[in-house]
Amino acid sequence: MWCNVESIKEFINAEKPSDYYERLLAELSALNREYHPFNLINEGLGKHGAFPFSTKANICVKGFETTAGSKMLKDYIPPFNATAVERMFGAGHFTFMGETNMDEFGFGTFGLNTETPARNAFDSDFVAGGSSSGAAVATATLKYHVAIAESTGGSIATPAALNGVVGFTPTYGAVSRYGLIDYANSLDKIGVMSRSSADSRLVFDVIRGIDKYDTTCSAAEITCSGRSTLFTVKELMEHTDPAIKSEFGRLLDKLGRDYEIREISVEALSKAIEPYYIIAMAEASTNLAKYNGYKYGFQYPETNLKYNDFFTEARSEFGMEAKRRIILGTFIRSESVKEKYYTKALSVRGMIIREMSKVLRDGYIISPALPIPTPKVSEAERLSPTQNYAMDIFTIPPNLGGFPHITFPYGKKSGMPIGAQLITSQFNDYSLFEFVEKWEEGFSMQYRHNLGSI
Ligand code: GLN
């Protein structure tokens, strides 16, 4: 039974065979050959006899190569821990399992913008979701494990939903970003994936709280103010595939026993994708400017070149999507078009935040996590960049506004898990766990693998 299991507590209190971690490591290697959830496995896992956690490969772990999935950061070994990692170690009962696969620098929705993409835990022909692809696959395949992941515009929600696990993205500023390799600073959040809501809550409590190294971190109290209404947004549901719409309708029927369900119109939410990608690319191109093969990033060996040739060669190590975002982001920020795109995007973002804040005072916003059934790898590869970006329709609004949100599995479609996303007001994060814990009482998810359950 998956529901209501607090696997962290259960594991810590259980007797384990003396060779538990050696056997787990062997299972991890076998798993990695087929599904590629890990960029790096910690061979020293389990020295302290504690519960295994992984980190997305853009979160710094002292002494372990941390590349954010990019060749530009090959051989980068951080001399420090990200605050979230430091707090996991400080809690005393967690052990570092390894770093999880991801789209390069977090750029992607399906986990394909990386050298060796992770495969869906339920069927390796299907995408794992992204950008925290490996985190979701590891969570779905390993019985005792939690993942520290990161979301800019949906990177926790989407892969968690596609692999049938809980994905929690906290309020912006609730968890320190110190030690996170930035994608877009005004949007990035470190969050958690786990098999139960209780485990995400437990880890959130370990990693959250103010941090002198991150001035955007907030001291605001985290509340648990439950809502009795669930809003669906007409403009977003219009873009949903009929198969997903009907499954989601069945979920609403069930939830309708405990909550009032209301469809509302929020025009602004249908305009979220464009400002998100404008702001995200502008910030990303600024952040990536420092990786020039000279001081930061992979050291380009050929120094005997002209200035432009050197940087062109060195920066050719970026993947295709990263290059696209550098070029577009730099253009968006340029003096001649700044007002037209960037400034306008900021004002639309403000409008979306105001509209959502109003709605979220009176209820949760609920939706599917992805507007289509999980695509096969071959199908996702055929999508154009703009078709790819359009897949983030449900996950971008809460990310733009820094609103906490959680995805939870609620069934399967053609054998693949489907997930729903619940959003609440800023700093009301605890109410999301409460909602999902109640849901889990009547629901159980069957996983194909339960590795690490020896
Ligand atoms: N798909 C979105 C993007 O590519 C979100 C990614 C993320 O949250 N890191 O920007």
pLDDT, tens digit, 9 for 90 and up, residues 151-164? 999 999 999 999 99
Determine if the pTM surpasses 0.85.
yes
pLDDT, tens digit, 9 for 90 and up, residues 312-362? 888 888 999 999 999 999 999 999 999 999 999 999 999 999 999 999 999
Which sequence positions are flagged as catalytic?
56, 131, 155
- State the pLDDT confidence band at 18, using cuts at 50, 70 and 90: confident
Residue 134: CB atoms within 10 Å: 32
Instruction: Determine the distance separating the centroid of ligand 1 and the alpha carbon of 173, expressed in angstroms.
Output: 18
What residues does each domain of the chain span? 2-230+353-447
Q: Could you tell which of 101, 102, 114, 152 is best to mutate to test the pocket of ligand 1, judged by most ligand atoms within 8 Å of the CB? A: 152
In total, the chain counts a number of residues equal to 454
Residue with tokens 């994060």: 429
Q: What is the crossing angle of helices 273-288 and 344-362, to 10°?
A: 120
Residues near ligand 1 (Cβ within 6 A): 106-109, 131, 151-155, 183, 280, 392
pLDDT at position 318, please?
94
Instruction: Determine the distance separating the centroid of ligand 1 and the alpha carbon of 228, expressed in angstroms.
Output: 31
Ligand 1: residue whose CA is nearest its atom 2: 153
CA distances from 393 to 276, 277, 367, 398 (A): 10, 12, 10, 10
Q: Counting atoms of ligand 1 from 1, which one is nearest the CA of 280? A: 10
pLDDT at position 48, please?
66
Instruction: Determine the distance separating the centroid of ligand 1 and the alpha carbon of 276, expressed in angstroms.
Output: 9
CATH architecture of 2-230+353-447: Alpha-Beta Complex (3.90)
Q: Over 60: is that where the pLDDT of 145 sits?
A: yes
Instruction: Determine the distance separating the centroid of ligand 1 and the alpha carbon of 154, expressed in angstroms.
Output: 6
Instruction: Determine the distance separating the centroid of ligand 1 and the alpha carbon of 62, expressed in angstroms.
Output: 25
For range 297-312, the mean pLDDT: 83
Mean pLDDT of the chain: 94
Residue 422 DSSP one-character state:
E
For range 124-150, the mean pLDDT: 97
Q: Counting atoms of ligand 1 from 1, which one is nearest the CA of 321? A: 4
CA pair distance 49, 414, nearest whole angstrom? 39
pLDDT, tens digit, 9 for 90 and up, residues 192-247? 999 999 999 999 999 999 999 999 999 999 999 999 999 999 999 999 999 999 99
175, two tokens: 């968890």
pLDDT, tens digit, 9 for 90 and up, residues 163-197? 999 999 999 999 999 999 999 999 999 999 999 99
CA pair distance 379, 370, nearest whole angstrom? 15
Percent of residues, the chain, with pLDDT higher than 70: 98
Q: Over 60: is that where the pLDDT of 3 sits?
A: no
- State the pLDDT confidence band at 271, using cuts at 50, 70 and 90: very high
Q: Counting atoms of ligand 1 from 1, which one is nearest the CA of 106? A: 9
CA distances from 168 to 40, 102, 397, 442, 452 (A): 23, 17, 15, 20, 23
pLDDT, tens digit, 9 for 90 and up, residues 254-264? 999 999 999 99
pLDDT at position 313, please?
86
Do 153 and 280 touch, CB atoms closer than 8 A?
yes
Ligand 1: residue whose CA is nearest its atom 10: 107
CA pair distance 378, 384, nearest whole angstrom? 13
CA pair distance 423, 406, nearest whole angstrom? 7
Q: Counting atoms of ligand 1 from 1, which one is nearest the CA of 132? A: 9
Secondary structure of residue 94 in the 3-state scheme: strand
pLDDT at position 298, please?
76
Pairing of strands 260-264, 229-233: parallel
CA pair distance 97, 113, nearest whole angstrom? 23
Q: Could you tell which of 110, 155, 321, 370 is best to mutate to test the pocket of ligand 1, judged by most ligand atoms within 8 Å of the CB? A: 155
pLDDT at position 6, please?
64
- State the pLDDT confidence band at 1, using cuts at 50, 70 and 90: very low
